[in-house]
Amino acid sequence: MITVKGLRKNYGSNRAVDDISFDIQEGEKFILLGTSGCGKTTTLKMLNRLIEASAGEIKVNGEDIKQHDPETLRRGIGYILQNNSLFPHYTVEENIAVVPQLLGWDNEKIKARCKELIQKLHLSEEYLSYYPAQLSGGQQQRVNIARALAADPPILLMDEPFGALDPVTRSSIRKELTQLDEYERKTIVMVTHDVDEAFEIGDRICLMDKGKIQQQGRAAELLFKPANDFVRNFLSEHYMQAALKTVKIKDVWYGFDAEPGAVAMTSEGSIWEAMELMQDKPVIYAVEKSNGKIKKIERNILLELFSNYTATQV
């Protein structure tokens, strides 16, 4: 869906982004990960031409993005920034309505869409007439997501969207986002410096440093087959948590016994998810979606299987 080839951005003699290429499939969640100054935000902003590339090519659905004027391009791409980017002089409803209005939707349709989105993001309708300053940081960020989703764009660009929130709010909004029914079909490119966030959301992670890609691939590849020392060091601090989020129940499915019970999760879920569910009970039941098989997951066995699995991967 998005193809980037030989992308470059120079500021004077400094190469902020240096010869980057990647492909993103439709519906894929692609993470640009790295420390500040690594070029990840510059890369993201080149995708909707907030920054013009110095060299290279970006194609969306096979079309060069330079074929259209930047305004048209941006109206078709959702864009989420940190929570202080809502328009403070617009109400929540007017904030959400910005892109539909730019696209010339009629008022009825816009109103209906605003109501629909506010409900999806678990805010009551009365908030529609509030101003951003009257909302909490978490509520603001929900509105921010609603604003980006308003015109139902196939692509969402997210620039450290949860960076300014406290850890609790951050993870709860992250969950809400991933549980939205349109989430599955959206192609998402997200910039973050947060390894946990990257591993939780990302289908594929692109780790950058000094304007260059150090490694891109599935979470497990980065974790278990780091391409270089930079990748290894970058992930080492978060290794355990990242591993728990990367390894799925289905990866260690063979080690559990079949036993009927109240199903708490699917085998697609991560070990981390299972551990969270097992905080107050020693045993949960998981189902394998493809064949409906239910197995009993025990904490002791789970941890042992996990450590065996990671050992074989490295």
> Interface with another protein includes 41 (CB under 8 A)?
no
Nearest approach, Cβ of 95 to another protein (angstroms)? 9
What phi and psi, each to the nearest 5 degrees, are found at residue 248?
A: -95, 160
Strand 55-60 relative to strand 63-64, pairing: antiparallel
CA distances 261 to 1, 109, 251, 268, 272, Å, are: 41, 45, 21, 18, 20
Please identify, using beta-carbon distances, which residue of 93 and 200 lies nearer to another protein.
93
Per CB under 8 A, the list member of 25, 35, 84, 119 interacting with another protein is 84
Nearer to another protein, 98 or 173 (CB): 98
**b (16+ CB within 10 A) / e for 270-302:** bbbbbbeebeeeeebbbbbeeeeebbebeeeeb
Instruction: Please choose, from the candidates 143, 108, 141, the residue with its C-alpha nearest in 3D space to the C-alpha of residue 125.
Output: 143
Residue 74 found at the interface with another protein (CB under 8 A): yes
CA-CA distance, 234 to 242, in Å (whole number)? 12
Q: How many residues bind another protein (CB under 8 A)?
A: 22
Question: Rounded to the nearest whole angstrom, what is the least distance from the CB of residue 73 to another protein in the complex?
Answer: 8
> Which stretch, 81-89, 235-243, 262-270, 279-287, contacts another protein (CB under 8 A)?
81-89
Q: Which stretch binds another protein (CB under 8 A): 94-102, 171-179, 227-235, 239-247?
A: 94-102
- Rounded CA-CA distance 200/272 in Å is 10
Among 35, 55, 102, 290, binds another protein (CB under 8 A): 102
Does 82 bind another protein (CB under 8 A)? Our answer is: yes
- Contact residues: another protein, CB under 8 A: 48, 50, 71-76, 79, 81-82, 84-89, 98-99, 102, 147, 157
